[in-house]
Amino acid sequence: MLRVAVAAFAFLTAHATQAVAGLASSDVVVVVNAQSLQSRTLANYYIALRSIPSTNVVLLDEVPNSETASLDDFRTKILLPTLKAIEERKIGDHIQCIAYSADFPTAIDVTPHINKLGEVPKYITKVASINSLTFFYQFVLRDDPTYVDFLANRYAPRPIEALFSSPAGQLTKEKWKAILDKVVAGEHETAAELTSQLLTEYPNQFPLAYLAAAEYAAAGNGEQSLAMFDRAIQLGWTFADFTAGDRRLDAIRDQAQFQVSELALTPSRAGQTAARGFSSRVAFAPNGVPVRDPKLGFRYLLSVVLGVTRGQGSSLDDAIKCLARASTADYTHPQGSFYFASTGDVRSTTRAPSFNAAVEQLTELGFGAEIIKTALPQNAQNVLGAQLGAATLNWSTSGSKLAAGAIVDNLTSYGGMMASSSQTKLSRFLEAGAAGSSGTVTEPYSLQPKFPHPQMYVHYAQGASLAEAFYLGVTSPYQLLIVGDPLCKPFSHAPKLDLDSPTQLIKTEKSTTINLTFTPKHNSFSDWQRSETPLAQRSEHLPAKVISILSDGKNPKTGRVQPRVNLRMRSFSDGFHELTIRLASDDPLGQRSDWPIAISMAGTHQVTTSLALSPGPLPTIDTGDTSPAKLRVPGASQCYTINSPDQPLAIKIEMPGARQVGLSHESDEISTVNGPSASVEITPGDLGYGPIRLKPFGITESGARIQGVPILLYIPPQAAAG
């Protein structure tokens, strides 16, 4: 169990930044169409529901006002400004996901990229989704159209055989061909030597080490084979089933050294590589191997659209309810079943061959899982997930109820084409209660790599976030629009930090210390997983192994968790600060969580505010059919309700001795006024509706920025409707 003793507050010594996987609130950048009230409003709710740091909020002024944008407009008006903001704010070292609010083009015309490929099959169409091109951002920046390949998403598990391809693409094409020629010719010793030489050039490539081991064994060179086999395991080879079936290794199978080494291997499901937690700092080589040198591969950024409110999308109210409902699902470990629809429809049969393996794994984890012969589960009262395949579906006729946090995906051609009224849109499943859904923005044809694999539900059930689960489940997502809450993780066991009130403002001084005491029941993931209780029935959190501290959403200081961690406050400036404590486990998915702490640092410079309204309690947000969702705005335990959003509101800001004072909405500066005191007038409705976080500040004579305690306004739905 983790306990926080607020004795006083000292800061964690800086450690070298580690590549930590997983997804938490401080990893998500929310991108907003500044010219759209719907985009601002949906973002306001999501930011407040998920404690998104202000520095992670990016407002764009030139978003194309259409459902489809050109590749150039996407690159110059959406992608590059977002990446530039991340770089300028110095948060790129930990950002994992870009979430687009409403009123963004969902489809991107990529004709210039497809034309570079020459003649292509008909299923390589000239339209991509906004989230997929963001995921493939490095491909877009390099004008590399190979994101259309069936295995372009190298983060997703892939067939083990796919590891045995040119490790550096074109750079090693000729050398790889020479190796394969020797393998086919049966010249095993030469093949092993050429592979070993290539391994010296690309030392992270564990498939090369394994191939060298197999070829040395086939050549009768047992000593070299055993050495290379051990090296392959050290570099990351884990596949017990593949190894057991490789006849080339029969020559060394009786060796004691081989048998001991083989104990380190694990079963590989369905001949696939293992799922892993996402890290935007990891590059993947063309054969799917993680590499340290980013020049030898591509990095990715998870990306999801929070809500689509144009065309055949949801109403703004339904989009808000979807996100609110999803925010209540984290760590709830709902009981119920996953359903896989197997009918005669080709939309269903495309994925049917993989249903049995997914059902078997989910059952082993302790979840209900079944293959159904109807298009929808019938009268099922706690649906954890549903994989469907039909052109037209009406969930309301099924009599079934989705659990909070459920994912529903349906394989059909136009599920993400919001300008078309043909076929059932992904939005209908979100309105039915799903936390996330997907659909293609162009005709994809019924090809498995373009749609979520049944294994997506296994990854989700094992604790992956919604965004991670989707991208672990689709190897060719370039046409796939993914909509919902990227952070939703109902089945996660991520480490927990016990806080009395995560939004409570703590007043402190530079000499004080926050003591974090870690007394976990288990010492590691391997210790935690020894329980005989099935995963589905376990609710205890994983032990924290890595801790990171962010100050105002920036500058993560990372280190190993110790029994006692002291957070020293002496390096903090006066005024308001938001600390984010990130805890990560050592499980394969790198499950992690964020825990914000709001502090007000005493000192010479203090910003105060006043306005002609009386604060009241924080509102709860309607989820449609579950308990209301709570707002999580660090430092804001009360809010000011605005019933006339179009009426000007004056906010007085003071900081004695200041050169300037001002006001921001999240990261967007509204006004800066010379002098130590000013009355800043705003029209609240211009900032969107719902919860609006305003951040007063003062600038000292030396240029230091002092932050005041945030002001939370709330424009209720009835006021917005008026």
pLDDT band at 32 (very low <50, low <70, confident <90, very high): very high
Note the pLDDT tens digit of each residue in 394-423.
999 999 999 999 999 999 999 999 998 999
Q: Which residues contact 674 (CB under 8 A, 6 or more apart)?
A: 659, 660
Question: For the chain, how many residues are written?
Answer: 722
Q: What is the mean pLDDT of residues 202-231?
A: 97
CA–CA gap between residue 408 and residue 410 (Å, rounded): 7
pLDDT band at 504 (very low <50, low <70, confident <90, very high): confident
User: Residue for token digits 């598990």?
Assistant: 157
Count other C-beta atoms under 10 Å from residue 256's C-beta.
Answer: 8
Q: What is the mean pLDDT of residues 598-614?
A: 93
Is 8's pLDDT higher than 80? no
- Fold classification of 160-271 (topology level): 1.25.40
Which range, of 316-330, 372-386, 597-611, averages the lowest pLDDT?
597-611
- Options 2.60.40, 3.30.565, 2.40.128, 3.90.25; which CATH number does 2-22+494-601 get? 2.60.40
pLDDT band at 290 (very low <50, low <70, confident <90, very high): very high
Helix (H) or strand (E) holding 175: helix 173-185
User: Residue for token digits 């954890």?
Assistant: 384
Is 227's pLDDT higher than 70? yes
Count other C-beta atoms under 10 Å from residue 325's C-beta.
Answer: 28
* Structure token pair of residue 636: 């804001």
Is 113's pLDDT higher than 60? yes
More confident residue, 511 or 314: 314
Q: What is the mean pLDDT of residues 166-180?
A: 95
Q: Domain locations in the chain? A: 2-22+494-601, 25-148+301-484, 160-271, 608-721
Is 92's pLDDT higher than 80? yes
Is 387's pLDDT higher than 70? yes
- Checking DSSP bridges between strand 668-674 and strand 677-682, what pairing results, if any? unpaired
pLDDT band at 20 (very low <50, low <70, confident <90, very high): low
Say what the pLDDT of residue 501 is: 59
CATH superfamily of 608-721: Immunoglobulins (2.60.40.10)
Candidates 33, 288, 245; CA nearest to 149 is 288
DSSP category for residue 76:
I
Is 680's pLDDT higher than 90? yes
Say what the pLDDT of residue 503 is: 64
More confident residue, 503 or 248: 248
Cα distances from 632 to residues 101, 266, 398, 503, 516, in angstroms, run 19, 41, 35, 6, 21
Cα distances from 669 to residues 59, 510, 586, 598, 662, in angstroms, run 11, 28, 40, 21, 8
Do the domains spanning 2-22+494-601 and 160-271 agree at the CATH topology level?
no
CA–CA gap between residue 502 and residue 545 (Å, rounded): 21
Cα distances from 288 to residues 136, 154, 206, 228, in angstroms, run 14, 5, 11, 20
CA–CA gap between residue 561 and residue 597 (Å, rounded): 18
Q: Read off the pTM.
A: 0.95
Does residue 183 contact residue 215 with C-beta atoms inside 8 Å?
yes
pLDDT band at 567 (very low <50, low <70, confident <90, very high): confident
User: Residue for token digits 């400004």?
Assistant: 81
Is 429's pLDDT higher than 70? yes
Say what the pLDDT of residue 12 is: 35
Say what the pLDDT of residue 502 is: 58
Q: Which residues contact 192 (CB under 8 A, 6 or more apart)?
A: 211, 212, 215, 216, 219, 221, 224, 225, 228
List the 2-9 sheet strands across, edge first: 2-9, 513-518, 564-568
Say what the pLDDT of residue 555 is: 87
Is 24's pLDDT higher than 50? yes
Say what the pLDDT of residue 610 is: 94
| Strand ranges in 430-479 using DSSP code E only, listed in sequence order | 436-440
Note the pLDDT tens digit of each residue in 524-562.
898 998 889 999 999 999 999 999 999 999 988 888 888
- Checking DSSP bridges between strand 629-630 and strand 660-665, what pairing results, if any? unpaired
In the chain, what are the helix, strand and coil shares in percent, each to the nearest 5? 30, 25, 45
Say what the pLDDT of residue 399 is: 97
Q: What is the mean pLDDT of residues 483-495?
A: 97
Does residue 544 contact residue 522 with C-beta atoms inside 8 Å?
no
Does residue 137 contact residue 153 with C-beta atoms inside 8 Å?
no
| Amino acid at the residue 602 | A
Is 696's pLDDT higher than 70? yes
Does residue 669 contact residue 682 with C-beta atoms inside 8 Å?
no
Say what the pLDDT of residue 518 is: 80
Q: What is the mean pLDDT of residues 56-73?
A: 97
Count other C-beta atoms under 10 Å from residue 259's C-beta.
Answer: 11
pLDDT band at 512 (very low <50, low <70, confident <90, very high): confident
DSSP category for residue 393:
-
Say what the pLDDT of residue 721 is: 67
Q: Which residues contact 414 (CB under 8 A, 6 or more apart)?
A: 420, 422, 423, 425, 439, 440, 443
CA–CA gap between residue 191 and residue 201 (Å, rounded): 16
